[in-house]
Amino acid sequence: MGGAGCPGPRGNLLREEVAPALPASGRAALRRSVNEAQDRTLLFRAADVEHARAGQILRTVYEALQEKGYDPVSQIVGYLLSGDPTYITSHRQARSLIRTVERDVLLEVLVRHYLASIS
């Protein structure tokens, strides 16, 4: 909401309750602190959400391929290397699902998971 000298709860608190009790240098430092806090950017890690979704899709595709009697690893590798969606069965909408995630994201998820498992 409001900052130092601005309308709103923070501005009023700084100006009316805290600021009179502080020396001038303290008030300036407090104003800088409040302004810095307001300028700070929160990070939304969309990559984490995307990676979790990609992992779930890989599991679903893996299961669908297994249910149809294919070697899931070979089929997924074929898709990742070629980009040809016909390596993936349409059973359980696996082909449509895997195409909703970029291949480089799928590779990143696989590599991260593998490296985490050997560390």
Q: Which residue ranges make up each domain of the chain?
A: 9-39, 46-118
Longest CA pairwise span in the chain (Å): 77
Contact status, residue 109 vs residue 58, Cβ threshold 8 Å: yes
Tell me, what's the pLDDT at 80? 98
The structure's pTM equals: 0.62
Tell me, what's the pLDDT at 49? 87
Q: H-helix or E-strand containing 39?
A: helix 24-39
Both tokens of 6, joined, read 């601005």
Tell me, what's the pLDDT at 48? 85
Tell me, what's the pLDDT at 51? 92
Tell me, what's the pLDDT at 23? 67
Consecutive 10-residue runs of the chain (119 residues): their mean pLDDT?
47 48 65 68 76 96 98 98 98 98 96 94
